[in-house]
A and B are shown apart, each in its own frame.
Chain A
Amino acid sequence: MSDTTTGVPAPEGEAGLIETDYEIGQDNIETQIGPFGLDIHNPVFAVSAGVIVLFVIAALIFPTQAADFFGWLRPALTSTFDWLFLLAGNIFVIFTVALIFTPYGSIRLGGKEATPDYTYMGWFAMLFAAGMGIGLMFFGVLEPVYHMAISAPLGTPSPFDADGALIPENVEAARQMGLAATIYHWGLHPWAIYAVLALALALFSYNKGLPLSVRSAFYPILGERVWGWWGHVIDILAVFATLFGLTTSLGIGAQQANAGLEHVFGIPNNLTVQVILIIGITSIALISVVRGLDGGVKVLSEINMAIAALLLLFVFFVGPTATIISDFGKGLVAYVVDLPALSNPFGRTDTDYMHGWTSFYWAWWISWSPFVGMFIARVSRGRTVREFIICVLLIPSLVCVMWMAVFGGTAIDQVLSDPTASAVKANVIDSYSPELSLFAMLEGLPLSAITSFIGVVLVIVFFVTSSDSGSLVIDTITAGGKVDAPVPQRVFWASFEGLVAIVLLLGGGLTALQAMVISTGLPFTLVLLAMCWAIWKGLRSEPR
């Protein structure tokens, strides 16, 4: 005797499930430690945590050697393999843009009748906050000014001579290149990197039924071996890169935030304040992860996007509005026109720019892609491939263009219109204090104490959104792809990140380990190239 009360109202529709003997959670250990439940993948959880502890100890015991080795390795890789990074970046852009125009663009992540989990606003806020928010705050002023005046992309001469005097005939070209060279680093290419990994994970999880873990995207290549040590190593590397990427950014970010606070508010710049900052950021991140995806991560991301938008609008209206509008258009045009040259991997002479910035960035984005890609995949179910790529690739790129035009354009205008009085010139060109660049720009506008405070709040909350989304990603990977592991596990990872950041901050090793993480960009580049093929294969086997 049963009534016919229905459960889920709409079926998912057809999807190309992969038949595998592997059962999600079969390698997990489910137990209880006192009052806390545990549901962890054996061996990914233990090996990840153990390897991380070993690396931290090694960095503490051998800080100089670690700094020397990774300080040598990272630039060696980015300069030797610059052609590979740039070529791969171009392939990712071409591949993802091409997918928009193929019939595969209409394939829906999660099956034909899946519906989006989030509205556009909430979706966009989360993927932006996880992927790039903190970087835009830090580089939004610094980079356009630096490329305009110092790094000489494509050999574009500086508008300043050796004595610091303005060269009028160089100004316009330098101004446009400053923006174009920056937009190149924050536009299509980084988002294409994230989109490739995110699409692979979303497709193989929601459509093929495999666990939401980095290893699943390798099923077309490795087959059933992906559930063994091949897959364990892939997932451990992903956890490793994510956690060290987050902790080193957190530690270095605390140093930079402290420098900004000292400059603006006179707060002492010392380890105590930096540790307090990390504890504060970690505490807020803990509240966020405990409140979960909807109640924590999404809410913080939306709040931060709103505050960032307000700051952007303030600078737009109070700053040189006409110049900013002009810079937006000219910067976008210069980006499109110069894109082939900027993305050319061969025969370049502007090696300072290419190695010091582009290769470095591509390696950095690629090393972050497991984290950002997994998070984007987690919140993107229900979107078509076309919708997914447009929203992950094109819209954030446009937002970045707007951001650079407003913040970078304002800073460039300040530098060029009154070089001797410009705090931006003093902190970016005459000396190099990158952490002060945003505040230096805001000093040239009204209400700088308030806007600087808002800037500090934004920086801190963007760190929080990276930390909480990163903790969720690590928790999912170390739980074998399960998203409903006990909450204490994600509390562990969020706390562990903060603790590791503090230990490295106090004991040394932040810069060395960040260099190490970025070095993982080389093997991951090959991984992402293979994923393009896996995505293609996966899409071809989907019902349409």
Chain B
Amino acid sequence: MYNKIMVPVDLAHADKLAPALDTAANLAKLYKIPVTYVGVTASTPGPLGHNPAEYDEKLKKFSEDQGARHGIATGWKAVVSHDPAVDLDDKLVETVHETGSNLIVMATHIPNVADHVWPSNGGRLATHTDASVFLVRPN
């Protein structure tokens, strides 16, 4: 039914991702498919690295830790954006196509008034890709 799971991650807030990460891991075990963790970073220095290469290393380590913890096959893809705050959704859509993922598991927020004005990240992915999108609320 599914051949690859993609999990967008914000490493700056990795502590809030546990429900989504556990869900993705459980689905990976159920369907015996790999998980690809995707992060979008700027080319300028940030809290997660002086440059995209350092960010890539951090994401790789994150991916390997998840693989070891859950006993699943994992990979990672760091995507560089000129303007991550605005280009995030477009980059994720591109990455869905590039990785060939057909199931996306991602953390989401409790709905608020802003969602009536701007579509959520998950909503955009569902609209612009053929993948199934599983939105995991925080605990």
A293 to B47, CA, bound (A): 21
Q: Is A12's CB under 8 angstroms from B53's CB?
A: yes
* Interface of chain A, main secondary structure: loop
- A163, CB-defined interface residue at 8 Å: no
B42: which of A23, A25, A484, A490 is its contact (CB, 8 Å)? Answer: A484
- A215, CB-defined interface residue at 8 Å: no
B75: which of A5, A15, A484 is its contact (CB, 8 Å)? Answer: A5
Kindly list chain A residues whose C-beta atoms are within 8 Å of the C-beta of B93. none
A25 to B36, CA, bound (A): 27
Q: Which of A202-210, A274-282, A457-465 is found at the contact surface with chain B?
A: A202-210
With A3-B73, A25-B46, A206-B51 in contact, do A484 and B85 touch (Cβ < 8 Å)? yes
Interface positions, chain A 84-134, Cβ under 8 Å from B, are 110-111, 114, 117-118
A4 to B73, CA, bound (A): 10
With A2-B74, A24-B47, A110-B51 in contact, do A483 and B56 touch (Cβ < 8 Å)? no
Interface positions, chain B 106-139, Cβ under 8 Å from A, are 112-115
Q: Is B85's CB under 8 angstroms from A117's CB?
A: no
With A5-B36, A36-B114 in contact, do A11 and B53 touch (Cβ < 8 Å)? yes
A25 to B52, CA, bound (A): 17
Q: Is B53's CB under 8 angstroms from A8's CB?
A: yes
Kindly list chain A residues whose C-beta atoms are within 8 Å of the C-beta of B64. 2
A5's closest neighbor in chain B, by CB?
B75
- B72, CB-defined interface residue at 8 Å: yes
Kindly list chain B residues whose C-beta atoms are within 8 Å of the C-beta of A24. 45-47
Q: Is B60's CB under 8 angstroms from A487's CB?
A: no
Q: Is B56's CB under 8 angstroms from A7's CB?
A: yes
Interface positions, chain A 10-64, Cβ under 8 Å from B, are 11-12, 15, 17, 23-26, 34-36
With A2-B75, A15-B51 in contact, do A292 and B87 touch (Cβ < 8 Å)? yes
A276 to B115, CA, bound (A): 30
B113: which of A34, A114, A485 is its contact (CB, 8 Å)? Answer: A34
Q: Is B78's CB under 8 angstroms from A110's CB?
A: no
Report the count of interface residues on B (CB-CB < 8 A). Answer: 42
Q: Is B83's CB under 8 angstroms from A481's CB?
A: no
A15's closest neighbor in chain B, by CB?
B51
A210: which of B45, B78, B115 is its contact (CB, 8 Å)? Answer: B45
Q: Is B51's CB under 8 angstroms from A7's CB?
A: no
Q: Is A2's CB under 8 angstroms from B63's CB?
A: yes
B57 CB to nearest A CB, Å:
9
- A544, CB-defined interface residue at 8 Å: no
With A5-B76, A8-B56, A8-B80 in contact, do A206 and B44 touch (Cβ < 8 Å)? yes
Q: Is A7's CB under 8 angstroms from B73's CB?
A: no
Q: Is A292's CB under 8 angstroms from B83's CB?
A: yes
Kindly list chain A residues whose C-beta atoms are within 8 Å of the C-beta of B71. 1
A295: which of B12, B86, B115 is its contact (CB, 8 Å)? Answer: B86
Kindly list chain B residues whose C-beta atoms are within 8 Å of the C-beta of A34. 112-114
- B67, CB-defined interface residue at 8 Å: yes
- B34, CB-defined interface residue at 8 Å: yes
B46 CB to nearest A CB, Å:
5
- B50, CB-defined interface residue at 8 Å: yes
A372 to B13, CA, bound (A): 32
Q: Is A2's CB under 8 angstroms from B36's CB?
A: no
A205: which of B34, B45, B47, B112 is its contact (CB, 8 Å)? Answer: B45
Interface mask (B53-72 → A, CB under 8 Å = 1, otherwise 0): 10110011001100110011
A206 to B43, CA, bound (A): 8
Q: Is A12's CB under 8 angstroms from B51's CB?
A: yes
A3 to B73, CA, bound (A): 6
- A527, CB-defined interface residue at 8 Å: no
With A2-B74, A35-B113, A110-B51 in contact, do A292 and B85 touch (Cβ < 8 Å)? yes
B82: which of A17, A117, A209 is its contact (CB, 8 Å)? Answer: A117
- A332, CB-defined interface residue at 8 Å: no
Q: Is A3's CB under 8 angstroms from B75's CB?
A: yes
Q: Is B82's CB under 8 angstroms from A293's CB?
A: yes
B3 CB to nearest A CB, Å:
13
Q: Is B113's CB under 8 angstroms from A381's CB?
A: no
With A7-B59, A111-B51, A292-B87 in contact, do A484 and B46 touch (Cβ < 8 Å)? yes
A17 to B37, CA, bound (A): 27
A481: which of B34, B45, B59, B87 is its contact (CB, 8 Å)? Answer: B45
Interface positions, chain B 24-52, Cβ under 8 Å from A, are 34, 36, 42-47, 50-52
B22 CB to nearest A CB, Å:
17
A482 to B42, CA, bound (A): 9
A485 to B46, CA, bound (A): 11
A486 to B85, CA, bound (A): 6
A511 to B65, CA, bound (A): 60
Kindly list chain B residues whose C-beta atoms are within 8 Å of the C-beta of A402. none
B70 CB to nearest A CB, Å:
10
Q: Is B86's CB under 8 angstroms from A487's CB?
A: yes
- A286, CB-defined interface residue at 8 Å: no
Q: Is B45's CB under 8 angstroms from A212's CB?
A: yes
Contacts beyond the supplied A481-B45, A485-B85: 5 A-B pairs with Cβ under 8 Å: A8-B53, A15-B51, A111-B51, A292-B85, A292-B86
The 5 residue pairs across chains A and B that have the minimum distance between CB atoms: A292-B86, A5-B75, A209-B50, A35-B114, A7-B78
15 pairs, A vs B, C-beta closer than 8 Å:
A3-B74, A5-B36, A5-B76, A7-B79, A8-B55, A24-B45, A24-B47, A25-B12, A205-B45, A206-B51, A294-B87, A379-B82, A483-B83, A484-B84, A487-B85
Question: Interface on A for B, CB 8 Å cutoff?
Answer: 1-8, 11-12, 15, 17, 23-26, 34-36, 110-111, 114, 117-118, 205-206, 209-212, 290-296, 378-379, 381, 481-487, 490
